[in-house]
């Protein structure tokens, strides 16, 4: 089973096709970098790509939540002035 769950990642993308393309692109980048450096990857590049994209999706969601939380506070401050 993949960790993080694919369901969480699908929510961050418009559709599954876009998600598959992004994962494949990232996996190729990871494999290419490892080959250039002569590193041996124990974990599969696709698993590493999914983990990295999930981290990016979480960061984006946290930033949106923080911006949404700040927006009402800024509106209240503007109304008070």
Query: Following DSSP, what letter does each residue of 6-71 receive, concatenated?
Result: HHHHHHHSSSHHHHHHHHHHHHHHHHHHHHHHTPPPSS-HHHHHHHHHHHHHHHHHHHHHHHHHHH
The confidence band for 67, taking pLDDT boundaries of 50, 70 and 90, is: confident
Q: For 6-27, what is the mean pLDDT?
A: 88
What pLDDT is stored for residue 49 in this prediction? Answer: 93
pTM as predicted: 0.73
The confidence band for 7, taking pLDDT boundaries of 50, 70 and 90, is: confident
Percent of the chain with pLDDT over 90: 46
What pLDDT is stored for residue 66 in this prediction? Answer: 86
């Amino acid at each position: 089973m993949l960790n993080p769950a694919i369901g969480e990642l699908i929510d961050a993308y418009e559709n599954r096709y876009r998600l598959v393309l992004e994962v494949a692109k990232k996996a190729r980048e990871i494999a290419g970098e490892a080959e250039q450096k002569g590193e041996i990857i124990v974990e599969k590049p696709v698993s590493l790509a999914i983990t990295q994209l999930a981290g990016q999706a979480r960061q984006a969601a946290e930033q949106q939540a923080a911006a949404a939380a700040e927006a009402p506070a800024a509106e209240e401050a503007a109304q008070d002035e």
